Amino acid sequence: MADDAALPPGSLPPGSLPDVVARMARIPAFSWHVKARMILGVGTFFDAFDLLAISFALPALIGTWHMSPGQIGTVISAAFVGQLVGALLGGWFAERWGRLHVANMAIALFSVMSLACAFAWSPASLIAIRLIQGVGLGAEVPVATTYITEIAQARGRGRFYILYELIFVAGLIAAGLLGTVLVPWLGWQSLFVIGATPALLSLVLLRLMPESPRWLALMGRAAQADAVVRTIEDAAARAGIVLPRPVPEIVVPSIARGDWREMFSPAYRRRTFSIWAMWFCCFSTSYGLVSWLPALYRSEFHLGLQQSLFYGLVTQLVGVCGSFGCAMIVDRIGRRLCFTVGLAAGGLILLALWAVGVSSALMLLVFVSAGGFFISAVAIGLNLYTPELYPTRIRAFASSVGGAWQRVAAAIGPIVVGYLLPLYGLGPIFIYFGTLAILGALITWLFALETAGRELEELSP
C-alpha cells in the first residue's frame, strides 16, 4: 500500500488508504463537517453534563444523607474509575468495530445509568451506579474525538476540533446552570433525569453519520470508504466548493492491523509517556478542584445552596473563555507553547492562592477561576492533541489509553481533596495542585511534539 502513494494523481485505487488520505486532505471544513460535529456533539454535550451533574447535586445530598468528606470524594471519583475502564474498552472496540458503533453504545449506556442515578437511595448505591455510568462516559469522548480528528483537514484542525469540543464545555455549563436553578426547586434527581436525554440519539446516530473513511480504508473496506468520501465530495460540490485534484504527497504505511504495544515502540514511546503525564497533571488539577468547589463553598464557608452553586457556575463560565481562547490560538502558536503557558500560568495562580491564604469564599472564587481559565485551555486541547500523535491503526485505542490517564487523574484529584481537607485545611490543596500543574508545564515544554498544520499520516509513520 505504501507503493500506491507514489502513483500519479487520479490513479490510486479508489477507497484505498492513500486515496482516502489524499482526497480528504483537500476538502476544507464546510457544512458537512459542521453537521458531523453537531450530531456527535449532542452525545458529547450530555457526556459532560452527566459528568458534572454530581458536583451540583452534592450540596443537596450532603445534608440529606449526612455525607462525610471521604464519602463525598468517593462519590465524585466513582464515575472516573468507571471512565478508566470505559476508555480502555471503548478504544479497543473502536479499532475493531468502528468509531461510530462504539460511540453509539457508549451514549446509550451513560444515558440509561443517568436515569438510574435519580433513583439512588444512599451514598453506596449512588457510587455503584456512577461507577457503571462512568464506563459509558469514558468510552464516548475519546472515540468521538478520534472520529472528528480523522475527518478534519490538517490546516485549521486545531480550531475545528476545539470548536467541537466546546460542546463538551457547554455541557458542563448547562449542568451548572440547570443545577443552580433546578436542584433547589425540583431536587437533585432532576439533573440525572435530564442527563438521560441522549439515549434517544443512540437510536438514530448510525443512520445520521457515516463511519470514518480512514478506518474503513484501513480495514480493507474500500468500496465503503470510497462511498463515504464521494458523499463528502458531492456535498462540497453542492456547497459551491471547487476541489483540486487529490495529490498523494504522503506515503501511507501498509500496516493495516495495529498492536497496542506499538505505543511503546521507539517511534512512539516518548509521545506516549509525555502525553500520559500531561493528561495526569492537567486533569488531576482541573477535576480535583472544580468537582469539589460547590461543596467547599457550602462546607467551609457556609454559603447557602443557591450561592454555592452559582459560584461553581462562575468558575465554569471562566473556563469556557479559556477554552475558546485556546481554539483561537492553538493553530497559530502551536500546541506545545499553548499547553506550556496554560499549565504554568494556572499552577502559579494556585500557588499564589496558597501563599496569600484563603480568607473568604470570594477569594477562592477569584483565584480558582483565574487558574481554571488557563488550565481549561489545556484540558480541551489535550483531547485534540492525543489522536494527532498516533497512526489510524492504533489511534482510537491510544487516544483512549491517554484519556484513561485523565480518568485516573480525575479520580485521584477529588480523593486528595477529601484526604487533605479535614487534616490540613485548604492551603495544602493548592500547593499540591499548583505544583502538579507546573510539573505538567515543564514536561510539555521538554517533550511535546508539535503537530499543528501537519497531516496525521505525516506525523505518524
CB 83 within 8 A of CB 135: yes
Is residue 251 domain-resident?
no
- Spatial separation of the C-alpha atoms in residues 250 and 18, rounded to whole Å: 8
Q: How far is it, in rounded angstroms, from Cα 87 to Cα 89?
A: 6
Grid cell digits, residue 282: 492537567
- Side-chain half-sphere CA neighbours of 39 within 13 A: 21
Q: How many CB atoms lie within 10 A of CB 336?
A: 18
Give backbone dihedrals phi and psi of 259, rounded to 5 degrees, phi first: -135, 125
pLDDT tens, N- to C-terminus, the chain (461 residues): 333 434 444 567 788 888 888 888 888 888 898 888 888 888 778 777 877 787 778 877 877 888 777 787 788 778 878 888 888 888 888 888 888 888 888 888 888 888 898 898 888 888 899 899 888 888 887 888 889 888 888 888 888 888 887 777 778 778 777 877 877 788 888 888 888 877 677 667 667 788 999 889 888 899 999 999 999 999 999 999 888 888 766 555 555 566 778 889 888 999 999 999 999 999 888 877 777 777 788 878 888 877 887 887 788 788 888 888 888 898 899 999 999 999 999 999 999 999 998 888 899 999 999 998 999 889 888 888 998 999 888 888 888 888 778 777 877 877 788 788 888 888 888 899 999 999 999 999 999 999 988 888 778 76
On whether the CB atoms of residues 402 and 279 are closer than 8 A, the answer is yes
C-alpha cell at 354: 496558597
Structural domain of 427: 14-240+258-459
* Domains held by the chain: number: 1
Positive or negative, the CA dihedral 374, 407, 111, 204 is: positive
pLDDT at position 178: 81
CA distances for 287 relative to 1, 339, 376, 410, 411, angstroms: 44, 17, 10, 5, 8
**Can you give the CATH number for the domain in which 204 is found?**
1.20.1250.20
Phi-psi region of 212 (alpha: psi -120 to 50; beta: other; left: phi over 0): beta
Q: Please, are residues 146 and 94 in contact by the beta-carbon 8 Å criterion?
A: yes
Residue 247 lies inside a defined structural domain of this protein: no
Catalogue the E-assigned strands of 216-370: none
CB 308 within 8 A of CB 59: yes
In a domain, 253, yes or no: no
Pair 418, 270: CB distance under 8 Å: no
- What is Dmax (Cα atoms) for the chain? 71
Which amino acid is it at 173?
I
Residue 3 lies inside a defined structural domain of this protein: no
- 41 occurs within a structural domain: yes
Distance (Å, whole) CA 173 – CA 181: 12
Go through the chain and tell me how many residues it has. 461
Which of 266, 263, 8, 44 minimizes the C-alpha distance to 165? 44
Answer positive or negative: Cα dihedral of 194, 92, 382, 370: positive
By CB atoms closer than 10 A (0-12, 13-18, 19+), residue 8 is: exposed
In a domain? residue 52: yes
Give the whole-angstrom CA distance, residue 101 versus residue 202.
Answer: 10
How many Å apart are CA 425 and CA 172, to the nearest integer? 27
Nearest to 416 by CA among 441, 437, 433: 433
Candidates 300, 313, 272; CA nearest to 404 is 272
| Residue 453 in domain | yes
Question: CB within 8 A of 359, min separation 6: which ones?
Answer: none
What single-letter DSSP state applies at residue 390?
S
Amino acid in position 299:
S
Burial bucket for residue 313 (CB in 10 Å: 0-12, 13-18, 19+) = buried
